[in-house]
Structure 1
Amino acid sequence: MESDFRKELIRSNDAIQEPDSKLRKVLTAKGHNTKTAYVLHWIPEQLEDLYTVLISGSYLVDVEIAKYDNSKPPIVERSELKSYMHGLSKSNQVRLAVAKDLACTIT
């Protein structure tokens, strides 16, 4: 499971780094460093995409990006790890631990 999470998280970081990544543009515009950003959760809704992103291994950002209405500004909310970890399932605890490890190993 840990190995699968590691691969998935590395792919999420690679996708964020793409020049045309909407998520990267939103995070960067709000002052977040995307070098060590990892998508912990992605929910593709009908009208928007919802992301929970670990930034630099130290805090989370929840992002809502409209799919079709470019006039609607993205919603970005920062939260701390402590509140996120409360009641987290075992598999999501492992995913978070792997993401934090990846964030710490990239220089």
Structure 2
Amino acid sequence: MELDFREELITSRNSFKSSSSLKRVLESNGHSTANAIVLHHTPDQTEDIYLVLINGSYIISVELDRYDQSVPPILELIELKEYKHGLSRMNQVRLLVAQDILSGQT
């Protein structure tokens, strides 16, 4: 399980090397993507919802409209302590692997 998460999360981290609407939204709101990983991506009917770990220290929830780029994104900062509260064992492992990757211990 950990190795699967590691592969997926490294791919997620590398995706920030190219331009994307998620990268533009995060950077235009002052969040560096140089050390960021998408923990979860939930495609919904009208928007995409991302949970992005930034610098291993906090989470940004981002909602992007799928069809209308002129709709302003919704961003919410989530403290790690708050995010960890009630987290399933599987998602705890995913978070720990992501933090490990961002700390440079890949």
Q: TM-score range by the shorter chain?
A: over 0.9
Gaps of 5+ in 1: none
User: Aligned letter for 1:29?
Assistant: S
Aligned to 2:56: 57
User: Aligned letter for 2:58?
Assistant: Y
- How much has 1:17 moved relative to structure 2? 2.1
Name the TM-score, length of structure 1 as normaliser. 0.94
- How much has 1:18 moved relative to structure 2? 1.2
Correspondences of 1:2-17 after superposition (within 5 Å):
2-17=2-17
RMSD between superposed Cα atoms in Å: 1.0
- How much has 1:99 moved relative to structure 2? 0.4
Which range moved further: 92-101 or 9-18? 9-18
Q: How many residue pairs are counted as aligned between the two chains?
A: 105
- Structure 2 distance, partners of 1:91, 1:17, is 27
Q: Where does structure 1 differ by over 4 angstroms across 4 or more consecutive aligned residues?
A: none
- Structure 2 distance, partners of 1:77, 1:87, is 18
Gaps of 5+ in 2: none
Aligned to 2:33: 34
User: Aligned letter for 2:11?
Assistant: R
Name the TM-score, length of structure 2 as normaliser. 0.95
